[in-house]
Structures are given as C-alpha cells and as structure tokens.
Structure 1
C-alpha cells in the first residue's frame, strides 16, 4: 500500500465497545486482571503500555518500514534514551550541522558517563570514514540537516557503517517517512520528534525511535522507556496518531509551497544564499533526488548583511510567526543563531523557515514587502 493509505489505516482503531470511528482515549493508569489473575488485554500499568501508545507505535513502525517503534514524551527523550543504550567508552559520530540539542546532550551529560563524540561533515563520505575509531559504535545522521539543510548520502554511509559494524541512526524529522525512508536505505534506527510534522499542529510534544528489526538494542530502548518513564501520555499519543492521518496531504502541499518560496528567494537581490534541497543549485541536490521524493517544507535563507538585517526582516513580516519549532500548519521563521547561543556555528544572517499551508502567493507577497529596502 502507498504511504497515504498506510497513514490512514494503521492510525485507525476498531473500537469494540461503541464502534466509534475515532479511537477513544484510554486515560486509565491501571488495568483489571481476570479471575485467573491474568491480564486479558496485555496491559498492566500505563507507564509500561497503553492502547493509544500501542496504536501510535504500530503506525510509526508501519510508515517507516520497521519492526519495532518506541514512543517517547519528546524527541529529546527519544535521543537521550538511545544514548543511554550505549556503554561507557563508546564513540558517536555526529554531523557538523545538526539540531544543537543533540551534541549539547552528549557534551553536557553523556561525556561524564563515559561516552565520547566527534563531529564530521557527513556529506563527505571520505571524512566520515577517516573519523571512524575502533570504539566508534554509532553514526548519527540528520538529513536534511538543521538548520543548513545539508544532505547526506544514506545508502553510502550505511554501506560504510556495515563494513565497520557500526549502528546508523537517522533523524528523519524534517523529511518524514513520506519523503524519505532511511531504513530502506540501510539505516538501523530512525528518530523522530513527533512534535513536528507527524503531530502537525504545534499542539503536542512527542518523540520516537523506530528500529529496522527487533533486537537487543530495541529491547533495551523499550526497557528504558518503561523503567525510566519518559513515555507520552495517552492524549499525546492520540494527538500524534490523529496528525499522522493527514500527514500526506499536509506534507505534499507544504513542500510545494516551500519549493516556490525557495525559487523566489534564490532570485532576490537581498538574498545571499538559499538552503533547500529541491533547488538544482543545492550541493546535495543529486543525492536528494535519489533518496527523497521531494525537497521538504523546511528551508533556510541567508540575507545580505548580518544578524541585524536578519532580525529586521523578521519584524517586517506579517504572515510568518517568529517562533521556535517547525512542522505545523502555520509558517514560522526563526533566527537560529540567537536560539543556539554564542557557540553556534550557524551563520548570523541565517533565518530558518518552516513553510505552512498558507497560499504560496500570499507568503511570497509578505516576503517581498519585508525584503524591500533590506
């Protein structure tokens, strides 16, 4: 079946109580045993399992083509849990351009636990291989990257990783399984901040790890979810599952809008550079054409000038909301360097844009007036 069909039917639920088309929310924290002191539905305590969470995990595993999905209370909780699955002395390779919270989590907490990490330009396969150490356990990938939308060749890197018996993890939050399927390209694990496109409405926090196959690693993650308690609430699971049902139509239109905005901005005199993998001028265009079915709904633009000019542009915009996060139906814009702090490597003139469902003509008109005189 096609992703659109999978998203709808694996996010559905057959309600045996009232035959409701929309699944109920199971708020109960505990579940009754039968006369034989058995658990007839398999649920003991909601930290260990819940019908809404099970439904969400099944939908996620199906969409990504994995055997096991483990849902968490946030994307960072999913990332933290994965690193907790590693052992002291293990080494992690990270992209040099990635969500700033990932290296911060390693540096501020896991280095003290005995993990080590280093950053590398994952768009260059030779640099990835040169950075591998005997103790390298994981190559963490993020493509397109945040916020400069670098594109890494997943098939090439996973082939290399298998040569050295290294686990590959891909943060697929930006592309979503509608545009990119990392497990089909050789990755072992996919991470999502389900807060973003899967939820889709800027009203729920969540994360997930999806495993290509059930293994000791996936069981370890499940154990940490249960014992550590970083599990999403039933309502959060219900909201993400609802969002998945409309993912295909939202992603298709938002990506189409982003393509138009990227093409407009690339030709504007006040713009230095546009980062968007759907543009033929993008350094990763050829790779993105092989491993993605679209450029996505995220883009970054570097305006002429510095931070002052970039922030001035934000003030003039009327349809773009100046806010952190991405993936909702509304268009958001953010000055990433301000968010990432003084140690950021993000250019000071870069603005990250999450393109929403507004009409592309209106978004272009808003950008036109804001860029005037910049």
Structure 2
C-alpha cells in the first residue's frame, strides 16, 4: 500500500493484500505453530509462530503504516509492549515518566523493575522545566502518555522529545488514548510509540494486545529479540481481530469524538460536577496544545464530583447505558472510578497528590446515541447526590 494513500485507505489495505493462494480478501488466520523448511535453516520467511506468523505480520505492517513508522512489533497485551521497552534497559538506568501514568504502568515500574535496580522519577509532564530537571546522566528513557490516563493532561511531545534527545535518551509515547488517527508521535520527534491494541485499535472489547512502532532499525531489532525471547506474542486470531478493528477506526473515532465533546460540554454545566477533564474544552489548560498536535480530542474524559469515595462509587454503579467496567475504547460506553479500580495500585497519597481524587470518574464514551448517554449520566448523578 502506497504511503501516499490517505489514512482511511491504509487502515483497510496496508499490510493486507489478498491471499496469493486463494484470493481471499480478508487476511487468513494462520493457526499453526511451525512451518516447513526446504532444508535445515532454509525457510520461507517463517519457522515458528512465536518468532513470526503471517497474520501477525499483516497487523504489524498495518499499524506501522498508520503510525508512519518503518517497523512494527505486536505483543499479547499493552503491558507486554511496555515491558519490552524496559527489557532494553540495564541495571542502574533511570527513567523519567509522568506522575499520572496508567496504574498498570506505575505498577510495572515500581513493583517489578525497581527490584531490578531501575530507577523512576515521576513528574508533572505538562511542566517542560520539570521534565528537564528530572534528567540525570544515567537517564535512558522518557516515557510519556498524552492525553494522560485519567486526567487527560496534554504533554508537548515535540518539546519532550527534544529534551530526551539532548540527553541522549529515548522518548517513548503511549498513544493508546489518541490512536494514530488523531495523533502520530513519531512525526513529532518521538522514537517509539506504544499501544494497547485492546482499546480503540481493536475497538470491540473482545481482544487483548499491544504494539510498538518505531523508525529506528536498532530499536526494532532489540524489540524483535525480546519479543521472541520473552514470548509475549499475540496469537493469529488476536491479530485477525485487531486487523478487523483498524478497518473501522476512522469512522468509530469520529463518533467517539463527537459524543465526547457533547458530553463534556454538558458535564461542564452540571451543578454537581466540580471539574471536567477533556482537552476539547476551551477551559482545558492543554486545549491549545492539543489543537496543534492532535486532529481531534478523543473519546475519553474524566469528571470530578464533590463526593466521597462511596458516593462516587454509587454514581458509577447506578448507570444503565454505561457499563461499569475497566478498559476503554470499545463501541460501548464504559464508566469507572480510578481510585478503587484502574489506579488502585497507586498509593493513595501519591494518587491524591497527582489529582486522582476519590470523586474522580473516568468515562470511555462509546458510539451510542449521545442523548441516551447524557440522560443516563444525569439520572445516575441526580439519584445519588
């Protein structure tokens, strides 16, 4: 697929030529573990499916095209992709990251890799001076999310990447919330893009996966080594499901963004809502930056109630259209309370200091009719508070 083709065309065709044997339009699910060799060591591109699988290759090429990357690697989960980046570091290395990163990322950093003598500094990534000040001679990686999870803060990718490169460090961006349809970090100077394919790229809450995209051949070689050596690879059916999801990414994201924008505006005027975190609002401190580095503002938002932990829990438990569940990015709308759910692994004092209050609620806005979604939130809030 020519890179000159528009994004919407590449979602459907990149990496996915019709099968040469049968003419099948959809990429076949190559459900096998091993491959015939013509002679010892003389194979036809594949030898063992942990190392490579044709269905997975199609997905990796498709995602690389969407992120304007030369290389792509897929994994069995988003955490598997993040772990692979950390696999490339050594004992004594230092990582600078955000103080409101996803709870699972925080857990991996502090409860797994700190035991292997990696050090992590958590800072407000919206403060470029704070990022600069956190760097040390041994800093090897700058890990950022934008928009962040769950406070929807916007990080200046171009400025952050420049700082990392000035210190001979790698800049990696978790682009799960924005997707490549709305934001392409490699074009802004980042070295690596990470995705949880479980979310918008899969899009239907029926598959778990991860991916790393880069234009750096050396980094890709390292990712490929650890992908094979550690073995956190997706099966062919998982790859097939994500390929199905990427085909409709643009049309889904358009509706996610449209619905989220209307819901954020409604919440912003609600008398029981103290604050709305959505970069599409003019009042959001990162609105201008988001307008520059994103093509739209996404389908994720959070809002803060003047409520106790128990009261906020009642609100998220009383919705009827929204489903109380973790994860995000499916066609259905989800609602959750970060404190006892997605960010439970973060110590309370750290969580509150970062702005993740007991009354904070995160919403993954789906593609249902927006009037039904607003009515559902209204009844859940009004019946509780």
Range class of TM-score, shorter chain: over 0.9
Structure 2 distance, partners of 1:21, 1:254, is 28
For residue 235 of structure 2, the aligned residue among 233, 236, 242 is 233
Give the corresponding residue for 1:173: 176
Is 1:188 equivalent to 2:191 in the alignment? Answer: yes
Summarize the Cα distance change of 1:37–1:150 in structure 2 as closer, same or farther, 3 Å threshold: closer
Give the corresponding residue for 1:95: 98
Structure 1 distance, partners of 2:50, 2:321, is 41
For residue 117 of structure 1, the aligned residue among 115, 120, 126 is 120
Structure 2 distance, partners of 1:311, 1:363, is 18
Instruction: Please state whether the residue corresponding to 1:111 is helix, strand or coil.
Output: helix
Shift of 1:38: 2.4
Give the corresponding residue for 1:330: 332
For the aligned residues, what is the CA RMSD? Answer: 1.3
For residue 16 of structure 1, the aligned residue among 14, 20, 24 is 20
Preserved CA contact (<8 Å) 1:78 1:209: yes
For residue 258 of structure 1, the aligned residue among 243, 257, 260 is 260
Structure 1 distance, partners of 2:381, 2:40, is 71
Shift of 1:35: 6.2
Preserved CA contact (<8 Å) 1:11 1:241: no
Is 1:31 equivalent to 2:35 in the alignment? Answer: yes
For residue 349 of structure 1, the aligned residue among 359, 363, 382 is 359
Structure 2 distance, partners of 1:151, 1:20, is 42
Preserved CA contact (<8 Å) 2:27 2:58: no
Give the corresponding residue for 1:364: 374
Instruction: Please state whether the residue corresponding to 1:336 is helix, strand or coil.
Output: coil
Structure 2 distance, partners of 1:212, 1:302, is 39
Structure 2 distance, partners of 1:229, 1:167, is 24
Shift of 1:159: 1.5
Structure 2 distance, partners of 1:28, 1:306, is 52
Structure 2 distance, partners of 1:103, 1:114, is 15
Number of equivalences: 372
Which runs of 5 or more residues in structure 1 are unaligned?
A: none
Instruction: Please state whether the residue corresponding to 1:70 is helix, strand or coil.
Output: strand
Give the corresponding residue for 1:286: 288
Structure 2 distance, partners of 1:288, 1:261, is 18
For residue 274 of structure 2, the aligned residue among 272, 276, 289 is 272
Is 1:47 equivalent to 2:57 in the alignment? Answer: no
Structure 2 distance, partners of 1:308, 1:92, is 35
Give the corresponding residue for 1:306: 308
Give the corresponding residue for 1:4: 8
The CA deviation string for residues 84-105 of structure 1, in whole angstroms up to 9 with x for no partner, is: 1111111000101110111211
Structure 2 distance, partners of 1:182, 1:212, is 11
Give the corresponding residue for 1:75: 78
Shift of 1:208: 0.7
Structure 1 distance, partners of 2:335, 2:75, is 26
Shift of 1:33: 1.8
The CA deviation string for residues 28-47 of structure 1, in whole angstroms up to 9 with x for no partner, is: 1111122687213x100111
Summarize the Cα distance change of 1:306–1:37 in structure 2 as closer, same or farther, 3 Å threshold: closer
Structure 2 distance, partners of 1:67, 1:162, is 20
Structure 2 distance, partners of 1:175, 1:87, is 30
Preserved CA contact (<8 Å) 2:333 2:368: yes
TM-score, length basis structure 1:
0.97
Shift of 1:10: 0.8
The CA deviation string for residues 97-120 of structure 1, in whole angstroms up to 9 with x for no partner, is: 110111211211211212111101
For residue 68 of structure 2, the aligned residue among 65, 68, 75 is 65
Give the corresponding residue for 1:319: 321
The CA deviation string for residues 294-349 of structure 1, in whole angstroms up to 9 with x for no partner, is: 11000001112221221121232110000010000000000110112271412100
Structure 2 distance, partners of 1:329, 1:37, is 45
4+ residue runs over 6 A deviation: none
Give the corresponding residue for 1:141: 144
Which runs of 5 or more residues in structure 2 are unaligned?
A: none
